[in-house]
């Protein structure tokens, strides 16, 4: 730390133990200065020779009381006044980063200018600040912190502004010119355990570009904001470094921020901190991670920051949503809500993501709205990552017993435009919702199951689905059919479309003249019983083992194709022969759709290990 000694005479200020300070001298004191609760017994000549304010007070006092002066509002109080008084006596005074601002403000208050005497205290302090303090990184930060208690005078004297500029300039300096110790950043590494002989080699490592970010975390938010603004204005540091600084400050100053919560405390204080960080975010995409933005959004919601700031965060999160994780998206609902998660906010984020591929519109000079056609800026990879992310998120929120079906379906349909090869994740989410909401109606069960495409389920997911007692019977039959077709089809060949009878299973019969009592829809929308599932599995297993399917796989394409036809023919025979399948063919004339559109493609990953842990899977007999 830098320091400066003023004066050469020994310090002879003494105390009597009763809040009284005096100078040890043969001359009797002739003036008493009361500062706060401390009395200073001093001599007029040295004081008046350097302080215009004391000259004025003594001159304006009456003859009876001009030997006693009351000073109640001097910056820095008795300590700062004593520094000024010692300087007047020519005694040794030590200035450092902790007391220099108080001494400067007190000297200004007392009028210790050059016009009173050359080489006065104000001049000497200013020289010390400019030649020493502002050249030291650590001292500049300390001084800036001390200015807060001296406001507004420290601001008027430009000490705050000069200090901020000095810090910002040093943060932007070329790292090759930075003399910096890793130990100051409070980071311990194996080489710095005190026993490593290569410690010096470690300290000679290149200085990182963000070497300064943790040091500035010591500043209060108002000063920190001004420093970062000054750094950004210089335009030297990259937006990634600015983002790293904001991240470090958030983690240090917002308790619980790393876990996406804000611990109880001064809400107003935390609100101002979150607001400043949002305001300081660099405009460039990728300056901060999506995970950090989501933590910031959670904090903004907790402190009730305001719609404008939250919308800004939602927009930025949507631009890099593919980087997020399910844990990042798990935004808790506000207190008093029935649901666990804030699904509405996640829907807004997904919409922002998808909007990046939409055509931009603008209003021409003729007040006609025209459309600018531009290629989508979203890559297929980023779309697929977001689709899988939402599938996994759906599986998480499905555990909430109070989650309305409409919120689940609406979010799933948002990403239905994203084509992806597997619907395992969506199946897992649907199964989780059915498990946690056993009381939903048949129509609701049908609605949620229509989100997935059975053709896009993996073998593991199919094996789980065919014994899933929570699925409607129509879905189980479709899965069985596609699993059988996949087992008999050649590798890499496209999966055939559903026969009309199976299509009718998905959409049902519209405009049928059957009475409600005999309408097959109610049976197909009902869940399959354990007995029905067992019968279906047995028939499929027998079908797959018959007619030399294994041999056909060894005999080439023609043989395999003929066996495929036999397998499908036997499937139809099976469907016709069973009571539960006779309903398919009785509704041939029905109009229908596929069991799920390609656009609803996101099934979160159906993890084989998770599937094995399902009770129904444990009871399964292999059908392969």
Quick one: angle between helices 424-436 and 380-397, nearest 10?
20
- The CATH number of whichever domain residue 152 belongs to comes to 3.30.710.10
167 inside domain: yes
List average pLDDT for each run of 10 residues in the chain, which is 624 residues long.
63 78 83 91 91 89 71 92 93 92 96 94 95 94 96 96 96 83 45 46 70 94 96 94 95 86 74 94 93 94 90 94 94 89 95 80 48 62 94 95 94 90 92 92 90 88 86 84 71 50 45 40 55 59 49 45 45 44 40 37 38 36 30
What is the pTM for the complete model shown? 0.74
- pLDDT at position 357: 77
Residue 495's alpha-carbon distances to 162, 455, 491, 516, 618, in angstroms, are 73, 7, 10, 35, 29
Q: What is the pLDDT of residues 167-216, one digit of tens each?
A: 999 999 988 888 765 544 444 444 444 444 444 444 556 788 889 999 99
433 inside domain: no
- pLDDT at position 12: 76
143 inside domain: yes
Domain range holding 31? 1-174
- pLDDT at position 140: 95
- pLDDT at position 546: 52
* Beta-carbon count within 10 A of 357 CB: 13
247 inside domain: no
> In 288-303, which positions are buried (b, 16+ CB within 10 angstroms) versus exposed (e)?
bbbbbbbbbbbbbbbb
238 inside domain: no
* 3-state percent breakdown (helix, strand, coil) of the chain, nearest 5: 55, 5, 40
- pLDDT at position 97: 95
- pLDDT at position 553: 44
264 inside domain: no
580 inside domain: no
Give 493's DSSP letter.
P
403 inside domain: no
Q: What is the pLDDT of residues 381-418, one digit of tens each?
A: 999 999 999 999 999 999 999 999 999 999 999 998 88
| Number of domain units in the chain | 1
Q: What is the pLDDT of residues 65-105, one digit of tens each?
A: 668 888 989 999 999 999 999 999 988 889 999 999 999 99
C-beta separation of 528 from 471 below 8 A: yes
Mean pLDDT, the chain, integer:
77
């Amino acid at each position: 730390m830098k320091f400066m000694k003023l004066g050469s005479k020994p310090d002879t200020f003494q105390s009597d133990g009763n809040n009284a300070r005096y100078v040890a001298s043969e001359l009797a004191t002739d003036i008493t200065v009361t500062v706060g609760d401390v009395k200073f017994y001093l001599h007029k000549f040295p004081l008046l020779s350097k302080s215009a304010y004391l000259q004025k007070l003594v001159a304006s006092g009456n003859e009876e009381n001009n030997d006693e002066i009351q000073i109640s509002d001097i910056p820095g109080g008795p300590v700062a006044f004593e520094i000024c008084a010692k300087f007047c006596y020519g005694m040794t005074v030590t200035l450092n980063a902790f007391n220099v601002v108080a001494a400067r403000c007190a000297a200004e208050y007392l009028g210790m200018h050059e016009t009173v005497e050359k080489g006065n205290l104000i001049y000497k302090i200013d020289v010390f600040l400019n030649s020493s303090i502002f050249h030291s990184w650590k001292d500049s930060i300390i001084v800036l912190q001390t200015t807060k208690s001296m406001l507004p005078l420290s601001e008027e004297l430009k000490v705050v502004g000069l200090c901020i500029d000095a810090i910002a300039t040093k943060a932007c300096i070329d790292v090759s010119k930075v003399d910096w110790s890793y130990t100051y950043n409070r980071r311990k590494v194996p080489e710095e355990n005190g026993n490593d002989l290569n410690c010096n080699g470690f300290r000679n490592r290149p200085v990182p570009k963000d070497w300064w970010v943790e040091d500035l975390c010591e500043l209060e938010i108002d000063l920190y904001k001004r420093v970062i603004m000054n750094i950004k204005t210089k335009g030297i540091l990259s937006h990634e470094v600015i983002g790293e600084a904001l991240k470090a400050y958030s983690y240090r100053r917002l308790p619980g921020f790393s876990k996406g919560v804000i611990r109880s405390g001064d809400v107003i204080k935390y609100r101002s901190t979150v607001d400043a960080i949002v305001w300081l975010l660099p405009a460039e995409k990728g300056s901060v991670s999506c995970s950090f933005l989501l933590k910031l959004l959670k904090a903004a919601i907790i402190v009730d920051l305001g719609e404008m700031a939250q919308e800004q965060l939602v927009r930025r999160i949507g631009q890099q949503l593919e980087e997020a994780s399910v844990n990042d998206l798990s935004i808790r609902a506000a207190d008093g809500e029935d649901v666990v998660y804030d699904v509405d906010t996640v829907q807004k984020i997904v919409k922002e993501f998808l909007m990046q591929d939409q055509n931009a519109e603008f209003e021409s000079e003729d007040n006609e709205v025209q459309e600018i056609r531009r290629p989508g800026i979203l890559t297929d990879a980023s779309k697929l990552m977001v689709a899988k992310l939402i599938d996994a998120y759906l599986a998480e929120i499905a555990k909430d017993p109070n989650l309305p079906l409409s919120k689940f379906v609406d979010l799933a349909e948002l990403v239905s435009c994203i084509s992806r090869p597997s619907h395992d994740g969506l199946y897992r989410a649907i199964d989780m919702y059915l498990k946690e909401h056993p009381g939903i109606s048949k129509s609701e069960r049908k609605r949620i199951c229509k989100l997935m495409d059975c053709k896009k389920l993996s073998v593991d997911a199919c094996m789980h689905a065919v014994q899933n007692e929570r699925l409607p019977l129509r879905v189980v039959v479709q899965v069985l059919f596609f699993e059988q077709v996949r087992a008999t089809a050649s590798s890499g060949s496209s999966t055939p479309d559903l026969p009309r009878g199976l299509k009718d299973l998905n959409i049902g019969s519209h405009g049928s003249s059957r009475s409600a009592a005999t309408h097959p829809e109610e049976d197909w929308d009902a869940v399959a019983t354990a007995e029905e599932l067992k019968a279906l599995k047995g028939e499929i297993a027998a079908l797959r083992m018959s007619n030399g399917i294994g041999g056909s796989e060894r005999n080439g394409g023609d043989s395999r194709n003929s066996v495929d036809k036999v397998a499908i023919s036997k499937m139809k025979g099976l469907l016709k022969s069973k009571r539960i399948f006779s309903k398919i063919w009785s509704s041939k004339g029905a109009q229908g759709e596929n069991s799920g559109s390609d656009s609803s493609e996101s099934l979160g990953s159906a993890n084989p290990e998770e599937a094995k842990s399902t009770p129904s899977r444990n009871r399964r007999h292999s059908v392969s």
